[in-house]
Amino acid sequence: MSATVTATVIQGSTCTFSSSQPHCGVSTAPDKDLPKAPEGALDSPVDGDAGDGIVVSVNGLRNVYENPKNQTVDVYTSDSGSLPPGIDINLTNHQILFVFTTKKTPAASYSILVTITPK
């Protein structure tokens, strides 16, 4: 089954699409083929297939291939007991919330809502 994936910044500053460093955007592909650079802009639909992985990048931070010395990634789904403070949404079973936080001072945080819409 194919789907459309849209990643939207709901907290923190957004960024302009970039496939070069610092990356900004979203990609979908089978896990073994996931590109390290985004294929589409945030807030724009990207096509995916069943079993694809999703890579979201914001200002060089990302949910996979991350550098744990530079960032943390927290992941929330509809099964999560609670969401981070300041996030007042109800996640559906077609949504994922990623919270990227830098480890530099001052820390920067980005909350990204990923919505997967079956076709």
pLDDT grade for 25, boundaries at 50, 70 and 90: very high
pTM reported for the whole predicted model: 0.91
User: Is residue 69 within 8 Å of 31, Cβ to Cβ?
Assistant: no
**Quick one: pLDDT at residue 58?**
93
Helix (H, G, I), strand (E, B) or coil at 111: strand
pLDDT grade for 23, boundaries at 50, 70 and 90: confident
pLDDT digits (tens, 9 = 90+) for 28-70: 988 877 777 778 999 999 999 988 999 999 988 999 888 889 9
Q: Return d(Cα 63, Cα 96) in angstroms, integer.
A: 11
